[in-house]
A and B are shown apart, each in its own frame.
Chain A
Amino acid sequence: MIETENLTKKFDDLTAVDGVTLRVAEGEVFGFLGPNGAGKTTTVRMLCCLISKTGGEARIAGYEVGDREDSLKIRKIIGLVPDNVGLYESLTAYDNLDFYGKLYDCTEAHRKEKIAALLKMLELWEKKDVTVATFSKGMKQKLAIARALVHDPQILFMDEPTANLDPEAAKTVRDFILELKKQKKTIFLNTHNLDEAQRICDRIGILNTTLRAMGTPEELERSVRGRVTVVQLEKSSDAVLNAVKKLGLGDVSVDGNKLTISVADPEKENATILDAIFRAGGRIQSVNVVGSTLEDAYLKLVREREGK
């Protein structure tokens, strides 16, 4: 649905996005993680045909980004929730959506039905005739999402849709994204929020000018070594320690009755470790896997570029 190859954007001497190659399948929720200034918004703007690309290729549903004719076709099948809601404050919620519905050439019947459905779903129906200037941040964000969906787009680009929202409003927005996921919408989600990305996204790309990594949240977690399995023993012994060391998995250390083993893939290796401990006569009180979360992966990959 979304394909890029070496997508690049330069602003004079500054390279904002450098050689990004990715593919997002139909119905997939793709998270784009990265620090401020990483090029997330610039990438979305290029994909939405808002700004031109300096190099590389990009296709949306088979249409070429950058081609004049195709750009209009792309804009018909995408929706954008920008980082700034950009609503018409002096117009009502209904008028805001109706205006955009008209620009997407939706029929009056479609507009009426769709606007009512969206406003009801986002709990804004009671406020449909109220001017947007009186809305809270959360309500405005929900209305911006409704605006992006008024023409029933196949692909939705969301640029930090929960940033600056209180936890309750953020949860409503996240739940709504999950609802869209059920409807098999393709969603390209820019976010800083790792927890949000982990909960919502099928796959994640980590960007810091260049695309540092891409995969499912689990794959990214696994990509970072440094996870450890901590086994609390009833009583440690040399026999148990040697048995674990013989497995040759990684560093093994003992602190009292606590055995700490560095592992690459705890889901696979823990069974072997526990089996070795049992065979060596060890009795286990508890087992914990610590470290290497998506956050670890994110920080490591982002800092790699910064040379930290």
Chain B
Amino acid sequence: MNLKHSWTIALKDLKVFMRKRTVLYTVVILPLLLSVLFPMVIEFGGRRSGGIPVSYLPTLLEAFAWFFVIIPAIIPAPIASYSIVGEKIEKSLEPLLVTPTTDGEILLGKSIAAFLPAIIGTYAGASVFMALTDAVTYNRLGYLYYPNWEIGVILLLLAPLVTLLSIELNVISSSRVSDVRTAGQLGALMFVPFMGIYLAGEIGLISLDTNTLLIIAAVVAVLDLVLFRVSTSTFQRDQILTKWK
């Protein structure tokens, strides 16, 4: 595999995305909004009744941190769908496929192009979130809540794995649809199971502690491997030109 080819494709895709406002908004606004919103909830939430109880803060912060698993599930959707369905619409896949690049190199390039903005957006948002949260909780907790093991597992393990899962699902859905919006919407459905986990945590069915996060990471890793096989078998030039919609 020629990684230079993949990197060339990734850089080209990133250059194209920089000109797509909707993609930029998703990458920048969503993480930024949540990273500011959550500390504001902690600071100003329940002020009339004396503020959020200190004992409840760790549970609340655990739940908020989970959103940095949901963000990388959402961000790659518009990027990956532009990356593949956009090429289908512009009919630029044929000239790309005739170059001496392998299907794997093209898929890797497109995955890098979706992975980097998603992970950078998530990390940037999480950094702002952690800094602001520590600033507003330090006086009440008496210690810096972040960084901790939970956010470590979320950012270093779960976020990359979930980003990959989202990209793979988008590759598969891109082969079945012929417009960017539908592909993006299908891909964004990825956030539903992760939202379900959040709600399960909220109603006390599970605790989003380090052990649970590691188990979830293992499950996502297995799903990644399964979907990697499906997406690579979907992304084959013969199928792209003859069977893709």
Interface residues of A (CB under 8 A from B): 11, 45, 48-52, 72-73, 75-76, 78, 80, 82, 84-91, 95, 99-100, 102-105, 144, 147-148
Contact between B241 and A102, CB atoms less than 8 A apart = no
Residues in A neighbouring B97, C-beta threshold 8 A: 50
Q: How far is the CB of B211 from chain A (nearest CB, A)?
A: 45
- CB-nearest residue of chain A to B95: A86
Contacting residue for B237 out of A51, A82, A95, A105, CB 8 A:
A51
With beta carbons under 8 angstroms apart, the residue of B8, B19, B238 that contacts A103 is B8
Contact of A144 among B4, B12, B16, B95 (CB under 8 A): B95
Q: How far is the CA of A50 from the CA of B92 in the complex (A)?
A: 13
**Is B55 in contact with chain A by the CB < 8 A criterion?**
no
Cα–Cα, bound, A90→B97 (Å): 19
- Contact string, B93-128, partner A, CB cutoff 8 A, digits 1/0? 111111111100000000000000000000000000
The distance from the CB of B47 to the nearest CB of chain A, in whole angstroms, is 47
Within 8 A of A (CB), among B1-26: 4-5, 8-9, 12, 15-16, 19-20
Q: Which residues in B have their C-beta under 8 angstroms from that of A76?
A: 100
Q: How far is the CA of A104 from the CA of B92 in the complex (A)?
A: 16
How many B residues touch A, CB cutoff 8 Å?
26
Q: Shortest Cβ distance from B185 into chain A, in angstroms?
A: 22
Q: Whole-angstrom distance between the alpha carbons of A204 and B99 in the complex?
A: 27
Contact A91 B12 (CB under 8 A): yes
Q: Residue B98 contacts which of A78, A88, A91 (CB distance < 8 angstroms)?
A: A78
Pairs of residues from A and B, 10 with the lowest C-beta to C-beta distance, nearest first: A84-B91, A86-B92, A86-B91, A103-B99, A75-B100, A80-B98, A102-B8, A76-B100, A90-B19, A82-B94
Q: A48-B98, A72-B102 are in contact. Are A86 and B15 (CB under 8 A)?
A: no
Q: Give CA–CA (A234, B12) in the complex, Å.
A: 74
Q: B241 and A50: CB pair below 8 A?
A: yes
